[in-house]
Amino acid sequence: MAQDIEIILKRYKQGRRDDLIPLLQEIQASEGHLSEEAIVKVGSHLGLSTTKIYGLATFYDQFRFFPAGKIHIKICNGTSCFMNGSQAVIDKFREELRIAPGQTTRNGNFSFDVVTCMGGCFHGPVILVNGEYNIRVRPEQVPDLIKRMKYIIEND
């Protein structure tokens, strides 16, 4: 794991301030989240204090500081999905998984995010589970969907 960060850091040899965001994005893409260790390393590489980097990373929605679940769910809450009832779907996920958007369940199986507009406006509400789009999702279908996902995790 530590190796990866070194490799990525090497790619940004000059260590300029404007490299910070792409650097963090790349680390997150390879590790799934920004660990404390990674942030300290980036800080010493760019000559920035860790608080500055945290301050920046927490400002943006893209960065997460805890690993995402084995199954990451993205729920669209764009205008069209909202009009078609995505709020109820989000509430159902909250209730079933007992986590808020952006969090991960304690066993590390599930995490979910709310995004604005994934582009499937006519088929809303749209959710993205494991790279597969589910369209016209009703809150009633959520428990079944989670059961199916649990089955996949257990048999993987």
Name the site residues for other proteins (rule: CB under 8 A).
Answer: 16-22, 24-25, 55-56, 59-63, 74, 77-80, 82-83, 87, 115-123, 126, 133, 135, 140
For residue 89, give every residue at least 6 positions away whose Cβ sits within 8 Å of its Cβ, in sequence order, or none.
75, 125, 127, 137, 138, 139, 142
**Dihedral through CA 12, CA 70, CA 74, CA 138, nearest 10?**
170
CB of 79 to other proteins, least distance (A): 3
Instruction: Provide, rounded to whole angstroms, the least separation between the CB of residue 99 and other proteins.
Output: 18
Closer CB to other proteins, 19 or 35, in the complex: 19
Is 48 or 153 the residue whose CB approaches other proteins more closely? 48
Q: Which is nearer to other proteins, 8 or 126 (CB)?
A: 126
Closest-CA residue to 117 (of 85, 74, 156): 74
Backbone angles phi, psi at 104, to 5 degrees: -120, 145
Minimum CB separation from other proteins for residue 102, in Å? 11
